[in-house]
Amino acid sequence: MTALNLDLVRKEFPALAGDCIFLDNAGGSQVLTRVADRVRDYLLTSSVQLGASYAQSQAAGEKVLAARRSVAQLIHAVHEDEVVMGGATTSLMFFFTQALLPGIRPGDEIIVTNSDHEANIGGWTRLEKAGAVIRFWNVNLDTLALDLGDLQKLLSPRTRWVAMTHASNILGTVNPVAKVAELVHQAGARLCVDAVAYAPHRLVDVQASGADIYVFSFYKVFGPHYAVMWGKRELLLQMPSLNHYFIGPDVLPYKLQPGNVNYELSYGCIGISDYLVAMGTALGSNGSERERMQTAFDAFEQHEDALAERLLAYLRIKPGVRIVGLPTATDGARVPTISFVISDRQSEPVVRHLDQFHIGIRFGDFYAKRLIEALGLDRQGGVIRVSIAHYNTVAEIDKLILHLDQAIDLKH
C-alpha cells in the first residue's frame, strides 16, 4: 500500500502550521480549508431563503441538495432522503428518541450500554416515562469488551431498540455492530449506532453496519460543528413528524429537521468528501469516488495504527501506567483513541504539565460517565486521553512521549 503523504495531508489543515500538537482529536478535529472555503462561499453568495422561484434561491437550493447527495455518498446511504442533518449528535439523538416517545408501550424494552457517550443513552432513558424498561448491556470488567453472550441474555420478545457505539470514545474498541445487528434483528428489534468516535478513522458504510439508525458528528471528521443521522427509509417513513402539522409523515428528511438544516454548514461538508477523494487519488486509486475514499481511509488507518502502536508500546512498559482499552493497535480492533491512568494518581496534573509544551490532550470522563464510574476511575478524575488523527506525525508522538514521561516521573 502507498504510504500517506503527510506534507500533502497537513497542507489541507491550516491550523496544523501553528505550534500546537493536536492530540485531542476525538474531542474535535482540525478543519479542512476545503470545508471553510465552502462555508464562506455559501454565506457570501447564497444567503437567500430556499424554495422561491427566483434564480438565486434555486441555485442556493441546489447547493444544499448537493450537500445531502455528498453526505449520502460519504456514508453509503441507499436513498438521499435518509440523510437527516442537525447541530450535533446529542441533539439529533434527542429529537429522534422524542419522536419515538408516542409509539412506546408500557413494557417495551430498550437496551443501552454502559460504555456509550451519554448522547446515546440519555434520550433513551427518558422513554421510561412512557413505560419503557431500560436494560443495561455492561462491559465485561475484565476484558472491557461488550460480550455478545451478555446481549443475547438481555434480548427478549419485548425488546424494541438496542443502542450502542461503533467505537468507544474512551476505550477505542471497535464494536462488531454488524454481528450485533443480526442478533437484534433476529429478536425483532432495531439497532441505533453512535459512530462519532469511529467515523474519523474508517470509511462509514451505513448499509454494511446493519444499523437502522446511525449517527455521527462532522466536527470530529475534519468538518464544521454539525452532525448527521442516517435512518433506513422505511423506518423514517413510519415515524411521526417533528415538524409543523402541515409537513406530512412522508416528507423526508424535512419532517425530522424542524427549522431546517444549516445551509452553509451542510454545503461545507462537501469539502470532507472532496478531500477524501483527492487523498485517494493522490494515493494512486483511480476507482469510483467511494473506492478512492476507501483508499484514503486504508492509508489513514495504517498510519494511525503506527502512531498508536508507538504510544502504546511506551505505555505498556512504563511502570505505573494502566492502559484503559486494548493494549495494541495492529489488528483493526481499535481506533487510535488511547486512554490510561497512572497508578492511583489523579489524571489532571499530568495533562496540565503537557499544556505548557502546547500539547493538547485532556482528562475526564468524556461524557462516558457511566463507563468511567463502572471502572472506578472517577476517583482519579477520569482517564488521560490521547486521541490521534491521521494528520499527526511520528515527531509529535515522540514529543508527547518525552513530556509525558517527565510528567509521570514528577509524581505530582
Where on the chain is the footprint of ligand PLP (CB under 6 A)?
26, 88-90, 117, 119, 165, 169, 194, 196-197, 217, 227
Report the nearest approach of ligand PLP to the CB of residue 80 (Å).
22
- Whichever of 135 and 385 has its CB closer to ligand PLP, that residue is 385
Length of the chain: 412
Where is 233: in which H helix or E strand? Answer: helix 233-238
Shortest Cβ 249–ligand PLP spacing (Å): 26
Residues with Cβ within 8 Å of 146's Cβ and at least 6 positions away in sequence, in order, are 113, 115, 137, 139, 140, 164, 175
Scan for cell 472506578, then name that residue.
376
Q: Residue 336 Cβ, how far from ligand PLP at the closest point, in Å?
A: 14
User: Which residue number, 70 or 387, has a Cβ lying nearer to ligand PLP?
Assistant: 387
3-state secondary structure of 45: helix
CB of residue 194 to ligand PLP, shortest distance in Å: 5
Nearer to ligand PLP, 187 or 324 (CB): 324
Tell me how far, at minimum, the Cβ of 206 lies from ligand PLP, in Å: 16
Q: Are 64 and 253 in contact (CB under 8 A)?
A: no
| Angle ∠(139,308,315) on CA atoms, nearest 5 | 75
What is the spatial distance between Cα 77 and Cα 71, in angstroms, rounded to a whole number? Answer: 8
Q: Which is nearer to ligand PLP, 46 or 347 (CB)?
A: 347
Nearer residue to ligand PLP within complex by CB, 206 or 283: 206
What are the φ/ψ torsions at residue 165 (nearest 5 degrees)?
Answer: -105, 145
- Minimum CB separation of residue 256 from ligand PLP in Å reads 16
218 or 263: CB nearest ligand PLP: 218
- Non-local CB neighbours of 180 within 8 Å, separated by 6+ positions: 148, 151, 162, 164, 191, 210
Minimum Å gap between C-beta 168 and ligand PLP is 7
Question: Minimal distance in Å, beta carbon 172 to ligand PLP?
Answer: 11
> Torsion angle of alpha carbons 66, 72, 78, 82, nearest 10°?
-90
**Which residue number, 115 or 295, has a Cβ lying nearer to ligand PLP?**
115
**Which set of grid coordinates corresponds to residue 294?**
476507501
* Pick from 338, 344, 337: nearest CA to 320: 344
- Cβ closest to ligand PLP, residue 117 vs residue 202: 117
For residue 138, what is the DSSP state? P
Minimum distance from residue 73 beta carbon to ligand PLP (Å): 21
74 vs 155 by CB, closer to ligand PLP: 74
Per the omega criterion (within 30 degrees of 0), is the bond before 253 cis? Answer: yes
- 274-283: Cβ within 8 A, 24+ apart: 274/34, 275/12, 275/32, 275/34, 275/35, 275/222, 276/74, 276/203, 279/4, 279/8, 279/9, 282/5, 282/8, 283/2, 283/4, 283/5
